Amino acid sequence: MSADDCGTIENLFHDVERFTTAHTILERGDVLDQSTLLIEGFVARVIREEGKRHIVALHVPGDFVDLHAFALKRLDHDVVSIGPVQIGYVKHARLEALIPKKPQLMRMLWFSTLLDAAIHREWILKLEQLSADGRLAHLIAETWQRLDFVGLAQPTGFAFPLTQAELADACGTTPIHLNRVVRKLRETGVADISRGRVSVLDHAALKDIGRFNTAYLYGQGPLHLD
């Protein structure tokens, strides 16, 4: 995205908001006339069913978290901040007015929504393929790669405010079992999760355990187009 495109997006914001703790940004079934862009921090898509919380997607800075609400108007899940976040709101009317003026930019925003779907498919696949340690390894590897795309990952790791309970909800396991998985990754010298940070100790081993291949993120590899 060019500097001009970035400026166009920033000028679309009609409001910017910060939350210092976990906050439900929007609830399932809300009628929406705006979409949310994540500027800082992490946001999760959450489905609550039968008394359980399921984290079905995780967003990093630069993501239009609920751009598909532009078409759907209601979502089938909650959107929840994790740790401190800053978000910007864009009215759907402003997006609609942008379509004839900036068709290439709108295509890029559409691409970002389709990329969300690709990530969803990969999460479903890994839930079927992998045990809990593989799922956690995949989540860490994917998050590091997505943050690296936007210049927010360090070679040794990244800030990560998710609690072990939230990680368990994202990996489809229990907090008790997730605690054992975290300990195993640390003791085998693969990764360490503590005090709001992930330290990646062995990238190759992490990707191997998580069966992580970057192709579905369309950054590099056989699916990449210049």
> Which amino acid, residue 127?
L
- Select from 205, 189, 58 the least CA-distant residue to 134: 205
Give the H or E element holding residue 79.
Answer: strand 78-91
Mean per-residue pLDDT, 97-101: 91
Give the H or E element holding residue 166.
Answer: helix 164-171
Q: Is 156 helix (H, G, I), strand (E, B) or coil?
A: coil
Q: Given pLDDT bands bounded at 50, 70 and 90, which one contains residue 5?
A: confident
Handedness of CA 183, 146, 123, 32 (dihedral sign): positive
Residue partners of 184: CB distance under 8 A and separation at least 6: 133
CB 61 within 8 A of CB 116: no
**How much is the CA Rg of the chain, to the nearest whole Å?**
18
| Residue at token pair 């910060």 | 18
Res 51: pLDDT: 87
Instruction: Output the six-digit token pair for 52.
Output: 């359980």
- Select from 165, 87, 98, 169 the least CA-distant residue to 135: 169
| pLDDT beyond 60 at 12 | yes
Mean per-residue pLDDT, 75-100: 94
Quick: pLDDT tens for 119-154.
Answer: 999 999 999 999 999 999 999 999 999 999 999 999
Q: What is the DSSP letter of 154?
A: B
As a whole-number percent, the residues of the chain with pLDDT over 90 amount to 83
Cα dihedral value 66, 68, 74, 80, nearest 10 = -20
User: What is the rounded CA–CA span in Å between residue 37 and residue 103?
Assistant: 19
- Select from 175, 59, 192 the least CA-distant residue to 137: 192
User: What is the rounded CA–CA span in Å between residue 196 and residue 43?
Assistant: 15
CA distances for 54 relative to 40, 51, 166, angstroms:
23, 10, 9
